[in-house]
Amino acid sequence: MNPLLTVRGAGVRIGDATLLDGVDVAVRTGEVLVVVGPNGAGKSTLLSVLAGDRAPDAGTVTWQGEPLAAVRPGELARRRAVLLQENRVAFPFRVVDVVRMGRAPWEGSSSADRDDAVVAAALAAADVTHLAARRFPTLSGGEKARVSLARVLAQEARLLLLDEPTAALDVKHQTRVLAQARRHADAGGAAVVVLHDLPLAAAWADRVVVLHRGAVVADGAPADVLTSALLTDVYDHTVDVLTHPVTGALLVLPRHGSHERQEVAS
């Protein structure tokens, strides 16, 4: 399958710090690509490069062969939608108005005629319809995260770039968010999701990229990439990878208990 978005040899530096080092990543239509790695591995930096928000100091980024830097901002906003880790709104807008901001790239186009229906669908998809009249600052952290997701869905971009979208959510809404990424990919789009939760990565990814110290150390199917040896090395913590006895699904379980407490204490 021809990639939708391709990064080749991407390098990003800030002063003496190397955030990305020779990174190659291809994002394919119909795929949920999950990026994992420890803190400081370069995950958010990679997402900003994929979004076109940060030009790499080295390497190339192309959208179906076209340099991403050559895409005009308005067109870029119609091609990709970005969900950041922080969910902030400068003024106390109502939830429905925050979600409607996602329609801004389509203003003046024929797609703008569908704004009301798209906003309503996005509110429902993120399970925030009942919050539509609330002011954004009055929401809990999890509710803000879901409203921000609804805004991204309302943008109707082909590529979703989601940075830690499940961090503030309960189990039900974690599942709902990743199910939306799956539906988007199945409908002909693509989704790149940054996760710290390895069990969720194993459950939902078509492909996993593991970043460590700014470099890609593994890229492939979850069963091939999420191995105990690799994850234990990358995270510097024992990670067990098992097979569920009933479903046969991959179980990725960071080890916790007295042995780990003793290691930390020592």
Mean pLDDT of the 109-114 span = 84
**Whether residues 93 and 115 fall in one domain:** yes
**Whether residues 125 and 238 fall in one domain:** no
**Whether residues 40 and 162 fall in one domain:** yes
Mean pLDDT of the 129-153 span = 96
Give the range among 40-44, 237-241, 250-254, 262-266 with minimum mean pLDDT. 262-266
Provide the percentage of residues in the chain whose pLDDT is more than 90: 87
Mean pLDDT of the 190-207 span = 96
**Whether residues 51 and 134 fall in one domain:** yes
- List of long-range contacts for 199-203, beta carbons under 8 Å, 24+ apart: 199/251, 199/252, 199/253, 200/166, 200/174, 201/34, 201/36, 201/226, 201/252, 202/226, 202/249, 202/250, 202/251, 202/252, 203/178, 203/249, 203/250
pLDDT value at 239 more than 80: yes
Q: How much is the pTM?
A: 0.93
Mean pLDDT of the 95-117 span = 92
Helices (H), the chain: 43-51, 73-79, 95-100, 115-125, 141-154, 171-186, 198-204, 222-225, 228-235, 258-265
Specify the number of domains making up the chain: 2
**Whether residues 37 and 109 fall in one domain:** yes
Tell me the helices (H) and strands (E) count for the chain, helix number first: 10, 12
pLDDT tens digits for range 36-58: 999 999 999 999 999 999 999 99
Confidence of residue 13 (pLDDT cuts 50, 70, 90): very high
Residue scoring higher pLDDT (258 or 167): 167
Output the domain CATH number for residue 187: 3.40.50.300
Q: What angle do CA 60, 162, 4 make, to 5 degrees?
A: 40
The structure tokens listed for 143 are 């509710």
Q: At what angle do helices 171-186 and 141-154 cross, to 10 degrees?
A: 10
Q: What is the DSSP letter of 135?
A: B
Q: What is the mean pLDDT of the chain?
A: 93
Confidence of residue 113 (pLDDT cuts 50, 70, 90): confident
**Whether residues 169 and 240 fall in one domain:** no
**Whether residues 213 and 82 fall in one domain:** yes
The rounded distance, in Å, linking the Cα atoms of 88 and 169 is: 16
Radius of gyration of the CA atoms of the chain, in A: 19
Give me the domain span that covers residue 202: 3-226
Mean pLDDT of the 228-244 span = 95
**Whether residues 135 and 76 fall in one domain:** yes
